[in-house]
Amino acid sequence: MGAQWKAKPKEAAANARGKIFGKLVKEIMIAARNGADPDMNPKLRLAVHQAKKASMPKDTLERAIKKGAGLSGEVINYERTLYEGFAPHQVPLIVECLTDNVNRTVAEIRVLFRKGQLGASGSVSWDFDHVGLIEASSDSGADPELAAIEAGAQDFVPDDEGATLFITDPTDLDAVCKALPEQGFTVNSAKLGYRPKNPVTSLTPEQMEEVEAFLEAIDGHDDVQNVYVGLAG
């Protein structure tokens, strides 16, 4: 029993790693539809960069690119879908999914939203900005404000763990990613996403626990790629 108990953290870590790889493979396959060469395909370049950061095996990466580009003879079509609504205590959120079966996914997402409120398209997206989100870090003590200005980012948000989130216009995401290393920053991840305009700030610790449990259940779904939450901090 002791050995089993000790193995649980390793098993949890392996499951988490597998889930990350699963999400990255889907992103790579979607991006590769526009070409299998990362040098000529900015979206694929970003997806490959994130996969390498996550230490994805080379053969897994190459297989995902071939499948997405239609070079493997295997046809798998993933569709990107968005769901909008509220977590408990009227916390707005946008859930981004990649699925090969929209009917199945919407039914399962509807069940997960029972403790919140699933809304129609546009019900909360008006309260979010569609932006580029780049997480980067610097070992040289580079100034994030100067880096944001020089690289062409719209804004930046320092992280408690030493990283910086750079906010860009969606069309500038790739250009800012390329410019940040010249300003002393290493790009850890980059994606298009949503940033809340008016995040909720007045939750009690008990209410926050309810919201976090709800969000964990949503994020744990296999088809969910990203969850954007209108919550401060």
Rounded CA gap, 147 and 136, in Å? 11
Domain hosting 156: range is 127-196
Q: Are residues 160 and 51 in the same domain?
A: no
39 assigned to some structural domain: yes
- List the CATH number of the domain containing 138: 3.30.70.980
34 assigned to some structural domain: yes
pLDDT on residue 9: 45
Q: Are residues 44 and 150 in the same domain?
A: no
pLDDT on residue 199: 94
74 assigned to some structural domain: no
pLDDT on residue 15: 59
Helices (H), the chain: 2-31, 42-53, 58-69, 102-112, 144-151, 173-179, 205-219
pLDDT on residue 197: 94
222 assigned to some structural domain: yes
Q: Are residues 137 and 52 in the same domain?
A: no
Q: Are residues 184 and 208 in the same domain?
A: no
170, 192 in Cβ contact below 8 A?
yes
DSSP states along 91-154: EEEEEEEEES-HHHHHHHHHHHGGGSEEE-TTTTGGGEEEEEEEEEE-SS---HHHHHHHHT-S
Q: Are residues 109 and 192 in the same domain?
A: no
20 assigned to some structural domain: yes
- List the CATH number of the domain containing 19: 1.10.10.200
Q: Are residues 154 and 45 in the same domain?
A: no
pLDDT on residue 1: 31
Q: Are residues 55 and 111 in the same domain?
A: no
Q: Are residues 177 and 134 in the same domain?
A: yes
Domain count for the chain, please give it: 3
Q: Are residues 135 and 98 in the same domain?
A: no
Q: Are residues 50 and 136 in the same domain?
A: no
Tens of pLDDT along the chain (233 residues) come to 333 323 344 444 555 677 888 889 998 998 898 889 998 998 898 889 889 888 899 999 999 999 988 887 776 788 899 999 999 999 999 999 999 899 999 999 999 999 999 999 999 999 999 999 999 998 888 899 999 999 999 999 988 677 899 999 999 998 999 999 999 999 888 889 999 999 999 899 999 999 999 999 999 998 999 999 999 86
Q: Are residues 91 and 149 in the same domain?
A: no
